[in-house]
Amino acid sequence: MSLSYYQIATQSTIRVLNNLDHLIDLAVIFCAEKKIEQSVLLNARLSPDMFPLSRQIQLVSDMTKSCAARLAGADVPSYEDNEATFEQLKARIAKTIDFIKTVKEGDFAGCETRKVALNWYPEPMISEVFLLQHALPNIYFHITTAYNILRHNGVAVGKRDYLGQI
């Protein structure tokens, strides 16, 4: 059996979200142990011109739900970007996972020929280009940046925390 768009856009992205949720758990523990306000980490950046940790987490959520929805020909749910705590970000991740689970394998029928239009791209992309050159690179960029922000600020995260259990 070959790997499907459905598997990549749902199962692999849910795994990313679960791993991100685990990273947040480690950040919460770190803040409690070090007596650091969560807002310190949530507003941390690797560079002044990069988004803070909270926005990186929101973008992982946005990209994963967008990936599944667009390839399935569904509407992408819109979430407010107003999370101010790790608890709220964990709730957003759970809501994103719940949405992705509603997208069924049959919804991906014919997606190989579906065009994906994004407002900020000059022309629609074929699904393969959207998935492999836009969605997945963005998902991994933002979770990697979130991981790096945590690591840079002293949270004891490692490669296994990023990759999750296999």
Q: Which domains does the chain have, with CATH numbers?
A: 5-156 (1.20.120.450)
pLDDT of residue 1: 60
Q: What is the mean pLDDT of residues 74-103?
A: 97
* pLDDT above 90: residue 2: no
Confidence of residue 106 (pLDDT cuts 50, 70, 90): very high
Given a cut of 80, whether residue 159 has pLDDT beyond it is: yes
* Cα–Cα distance measured from residue 70 to residue 115, given in angstroms and rounded to the nearest whole number: 9
**Mean per-residue pLDDT, 115-138:** 92
Residue 87 contacts by C-beta under 8 Å, 6 or more apart in sequence?
none
| pLDDT given for residue 13 in this prediction | 97
Report pLDDT digits (tens) over 15-66: 999 999 999 999 999 999 999 999 999 999 999 999 999 999 999 999 999 9
Within a 10 A sphere around the Cβ of 81, how many other Cβ atoms? 12
pLDDT surpassing 70 at residue 118: yes
Q: Mean of the per-residue pLDDT values for the chain?
A: 95
At residue 128, the pLDDT reads: 93
* Under 8 Å between Cβ of 25 and 33: no
Q: Judge whether residue 126 has pLDDT over 90.
A: yes
Q: Count the Cβ atoms, other than its own, within 10 Å of residue 43.
A: 14
Cα dihedral 4, 100, 135, 93 sign: negative
Give the per-residue pLDDT at 121.
85
- What pLDDT does 166 receive? 73
Looking at the chain, the whole-number percentage of residues with pLDDT higher than 90 is 89
